Amino acid sequence: MTARDPDRPAPEAFLRAAAQEGLGRLKVFLGAAPGVGKTYEMLTDAAARAREGVDVVIGVVETHGRAETEALTRSFEIMPRRHTEGSVRALDEMDIDAILARRPRLVLVDELAHTNAPGSRHPKRYQDVDELLAAGIDVFSTVNVQHIESLNDVVASFTRVRVRETVPDRMLDDADIEVVDIPPDELIERLKAGKVYVPDEAARALGHFFSRTNLQALRELALRRAAQAVDAEMLGDLRARALAGTFAAGERVLVAVDAAASAPELVRAAKRLADALRAPWTALHVETERSRRLDRDSQTRLAATLALAAQLGGATATIPAANVVDGLCDFAAEARITQIVVGKSLRSWWFERRYGSVVDRLVRGIDGVAVHVLPTGKGAAQAAAPRANITRPIDYLWTLVMVACVTGIAEIVTGPRTVNSVDMMYLVPVLTAATISGLRAGLFAGVLSALAYNFFFLPPLYTFTIADPANLVTVMVLLVVAVIVSQLAARTRYQADLATSGARANAALAGFSRQLTGVTTVPELAQSICAEIARLFDVRAVMMLPKRGDLILIAAVPPGDELGAVELAAARWVADKGRPAGRGSDTLTAADWLFHPLNTGRGTIAVIGMARDDGRDPLRPESLALLTSVLDQSALALDRIQLEAEMADVAQLRERDRLRATLLASVSHDLRTPLTSIVAAANELRATAATTANTPLFDTLDSETQRLRRFVANLLDMARIEAGALNLNIVPTDLTDAVAGAVHDVRRALADHPIVLAVPPDLPLVRIDPQLFHHCLINLLDNAGKYADPGTTVTIAATRRYDGIELTVTDEGPGLPPGTEARIFDTFLRVEGSDRTKDGTGLGLAIVKGFAEAMGLTVAASTQGEPQGARFAVYFPEALLVRTPAVAAEAAE
């Protein structure tokens, strides 16, 4: 059973709320009919947002040549359409990729129900919108009430215009809805004045569609649908707050579906009932022995019906049962169903006499459940009768031989006279033929036996005349026996087949999983998976792994398959979204291949592709379950192998890191200890033995040891950056502190330079590693001290900008040679063209950049005009700033 339990709201609702956090919001402008001004309203609303500073672009807006609307679009950036090639009409569709790349805050997408040109990524525009929402982009869209899936039938019933383009209700369930409403009379006025663009489907029934009554009904539907959305939202809210008990007295709706063509109508009706009751609902298919034998078309229809239910927001379930009524009763009791929707059975009067109608038995079988019986439309397909074995020509021959043998044996045993027991002997070929070769052979045997019995044993002998009417009964009995036995045998054989195929699938899976546990490398595993899929489903199979944003083909059965551009695009989409795409799915159907993801808790770890040489869909609907099992097992196995490999890598890396850390620590210790001694010794000497003559020597000793100290520090820092071994310790840091600390530490190196501090004390705190930032600042100040002449000012300034904080260190030195601004931060680049030899290794600025970028800061260098000098800037993006008011309130509490 695969039902989603509708009665446990809290975790699911929370998950949904959590899932929606990163998602864009959809706002739908809902109209009763074309011409009410949805697009105009949408543009006006968007313009208001734009004025608030929201980044709005137009994805698709149809102005239908209306001047006011046209004028409104001009204030927005309009994304170029994508030109779809290969279609007869040149259709320009919305370019999702361009929008995703542009990443606006809000995009306007007119006509949500639009069907995209063939060859587009998704068949339907609302799927495009889904993808935009998933990328966190808000969407405004428009839709007319007759395009809403669950209202489609209702609208069609009174307007007699059925639109094929529908939008699933779930789109509206999660959206904000604004009804664009004008009174019907006004709309009719506008229509007469030619202000309404009339789409094709409405044009055909123009007079009728735009009648006053219709418009009123449509308007009511639109308003009701919007009100319902508000209710649903409130309900969602209640559920999120786990107040499950408060909703709608625990009504639960169940709709029974089968493969009948009318089943979708039942599903829509159930959805309306459930919405009215504000109840969760489930579409249930009871799988009986009879429904297991459905032909392929019926199975496809059934799957489509269940998919429709899911699309409309219902739960779906399939349960096995001896018969439909038992299944429904069991499920209803278990799921505490209060309302059942069933279609009126279209079985023959005879069938109902014999077995009683499903409805009758259902009403009798369930207590306390309201049963809604809906008349179902014409064209309902009867479930196919049990299909007997196909009789081959050789079977007739065998039957003939058997009858001949029986006749011969009887002739020998009894001689040519009438013996009553001879007719019994003819049961042997009839039963044998019916059992082994099916109904036709059985009947053939029956007829043949009857003829032979009549000819050889019934008086008058050797004629086909039957003298005694009693003997006619014998002939009839032989025929009836043939019919009954062949039916029974066919049924038994079918069950045996079913069991065998189930057992075979299980055996295949078991063998497969055994095979997978033995595999230890990814290529080997990929090969096994492809081989298994190719064998089980009789397809060509490939497997691809995502690697650095690309897909790498790692196995193909048969080998050497090349994928085309369309197929690769589909495969990439699957890798991105973790959902199937390609031929036979509902996305990127133009591809020849069907792609399924291998999903695990870590996301999509591989993509499996399938194709068939004969151009049919790679996967039959009934094979989906088996494929899912195979993919699940494959995903587990691949996950296991990858995790093992990663763990080995991690262990290796950790070991390497440990060695590196040890080396760094020991180098650091070995270099610093003698330095400390030298510094201390120099200080000692200066204190005890300084004379005017040797003071310059002490100064040199001093400054050179300082240089060596900085050099050692820089070398170690660089080693840490390049090893990627920076352990960040991010804390909120006061830039005034950071600057003061750095200035304190470089006070000797910059003794010749007046330092001007322009760091406002009220800047927000920033989240950085103070230690690393200290090094950045020291290197920048060091650099200024190195290149600027003594006596010139070094300025440290910080300013709040709209998108963060900029901190600059500016000197009055020669500036940067033109063209080196971008390269200045590269390792070992030292500025040439100065007549003085500069101290240093050229590591300083590389360290600034390495550390800054590790903390999420960016750096830039430029040359100032007046007074001339180099200007180094560090940007702290908005995201790193700490919002002080909140912290301050807490700090002072």
Partner 1 sequence: MSAATILVVDDEAAIRRLVRGTLTRAGYDVVEADTARAAMSALAIDKPDLVLLDLGLPDRDGLELIPLIKGKAALIVVSARDQTGEKVAALDLGADDFVTKPFDSDELLARIRTGLRHRLASEAEAEVVTVGPITIDLALRRVRRDNEEVRLTPKEYVFLAELAKHPGRVLTHRQLLRAGWGPAHDDDVEYLRVVVRSLRQKLGPEGMTLIRSELGVGYRLGG
The residues that touch partner 1, with contacts defined as CB under 8 A, are 668-669, 672-677, 679-681, 683-684, 687-688, 709, 713, 729, 731-734, 736-738, 740-741, 761-762, 765, 770-771, 774, 882, 884, 887-888, 890-892
Q: Smallest distance, Å, CB 679 to partner 1?
A: 5
CB atoms within 10 A of CB 314: 25
As a residue count, the chain comes to: 893
Q: Is the Cβ of residue 54 or residue 887 nearer to partner 1 in the bound state?
A: 887
CB atoms within 10 A of CB 420: 10
Give the integer Cα–Cα distance in Å for 656 and 7. Answer: 53
Q: Is the Cβ of residue 467 or residue 681 nearer to partner 1 in the bound state?
A: 681
878, 874, 752, 865: which is closest to 825 by C-alpha? 874
412, 454, 410: which is closest to 428 by C-alpha? 410
CB atoms within 10 A of CB 90: 9
Helix (H, G, I), strand (E, B) or coil at 195: coil
Give the integer Cα–Cα distance in Å for 544 and 563. Answer: 11
Angle between helices 212-240 and 152-159 (to 10 degrees): 170
Q: Is the Cβ of residue 367 or residue 890 nearer to partner 1 in the bound state?
A: 890
Q: Smallest distance, Å, CB 627 to partner 1?
A: 51
Q: Is the Cβ of residue 185 or residue 737 nearer to partner 1 in the bound state?
A: 737
Q: Is the Cβ of residue 203 or residue 731 nearer to partner 1 in the bound state?
A: 731
**Contact (CB, 8 A) for 588 and 121:** yes
Q: Is the Cβ of residue 332 or residue 778 nearer to partner 1 in the bound state?
A: 778
**Contact (CB, 8 A) for 868 and 810:** no
Burial class from Cβ neighbours inside 10 Å (0-12, 13-18, 19+) for residue 56 reads: buried
Q: Is the Cβ of residue 523 or residue 674 nearer to partner 1 in the bound state?
A: 674
Q: Smallest distance, Å, CB 884 to partner 1?
A: 7
Q: Is the Cβ of residue 673 or residue 858 nearer to partner 1 in the bound state?
A: 673
Q: What is the dihedral of CA 789, 795, 801, 804, to 10 degrees?
A: 90
> What is the chain's percent helix, strand, coil content, to nearest 5?
50, 15, 30
Helix (H, G, I), strand (E, B) or coil at 556: strand
Q: Smallest distance, Å, CB 752 to partner 1?
A: 19
Q: Smallest distance, Å, CB 705 to partner 1?
A: 8
- Classify residue 143 by its DSSP letter: E
Q: Is the Cβ of residue 581 or residue 735 nearer to partner 1 in the bound state?
A: 735
Q: Smallest distance, Å, CB 732 to partner 1?
A: 4
Q: Smallest distance, Å, CB 656 to partner 1?
A: 21
**Contact (CB, 8 A) for 357 and 343:** no
Q: Is the Cβ of residue 553 or residue 740 nearer to partner 1 in the bound state?
A: 740
Q: Smallest distance, Å, CB 742 to partner 1?
A: 9
Tokens of 313: 């927001």
HEC readout, 68-124: HHHHHHCCCEECCCEECCCCCCCCEECCHHHHHHHCCCEEEECCCCCECCCCCCCCE
**Contact (CB, 8 A) for 796 and 820:** no
Tokens of 852: 């800054």
107, 147, 164: which is closest to 131 by C-alpha? 107
Q: Is the Cβ of residue 407 or residue 779 nearer to partner 1 in the bound state?
A: 779
**Phi, psi for 859 (deg, rounded to 5):** -125, 155
Q: Is the Cβ of residue 461 or residue 731 nearer to partner 1 in the bound state?
A: 731
**Contact (CB, 8 A) for 94 and 109:** yes
Q: Smallest distance, Å, CB 845 to partner 1?
A: 20
Q: Smallest distance, Å, CB 887 to partner 1?
A: 5
Burial class from Cβ neighbours inside 10 Å (0-12, 13-18, 19+) for residue 414 reads: middle
Give the integer Cα–Cα distance in Å for 30 and 825. Answer: 56
- Classify residue 162 by its DSSP letter: -
Q: Is the Cβ of residue 736 or residue 864 nearer to partner 1 in the bound state?
A: 736
Q: Is the Cβ of residue 411 or residue 702 nearer to partner 1 in the bound state?
A: 702
Q: Which residues pair with 29 in a beta bridge?
A: 142, 178
Q: Is the Cβ of residue 683 or residue 862 nearer to partner 1 in the bound state?
A: 683
Q: Is the Cβ of residue 864 or residue 884 nearer to partner 1 in the bound state?
A: 884
> Could you give the angle at the alpha carbon of 11 between the alpha carbons of 10 and 13, nearest 5°?
65
Q: Is the Cβ of residue 49 or residue 672 nearer to partner 1 in the bound state?
A: 672
Q: Smallest distance, Å, CB 673 to partner 1?
A: 5
Helix (H, G, I), strand (E, B) or coil at 176: strand
Q: Smallest distance, Å, CB 665 to partner 1?
A: 9
Q: Smallest distance, Å, CB 754 to partner 1?
A: 17
Q: Is the Cβ of residue 531 or residue 726 nearer to partner 1 in the bound state?
A: 726
Residue 509 makes CB contacts below 8 A (sequence gap 6+) with 626, 629, 630, 633
Q: Smallest distance, Å, CB 675 to partner 1?
A: 5
Q: Smallest distance, Å, CB 531 to partner 1?
A: 54
Q: Smallest distance, Å, CB 122 to partner 1?
A: 47
Residue 223 makes CB contacts below 8 A (sequence gap 6+) with 179, 181
Give the integer Cα–Cα distance in Å for 856 and 292. Answer: 60
**Contact (CB, 8 A) for 254 and 366:** no
Give the integer Cα–Cα distance in Å for 699 and 702. Answer: 5
- Classify residue 822 by its DSSP letter: T
**Contact (CB, 8 A) for 180 and 29:** yes
**Contact (CB, 8 A) for 641 and 519:** yes
* Helices within 135-292 (DSSP H only): 152-159, 169-173, 184-192, 200-204, 206-209, 212-240, 263-277, 289-292
Q: Smallest distance, Å, CB 741 to partner 1?
A: 5
Q: Smallest distance, Å, CB 774 to partner 1?
A: 6
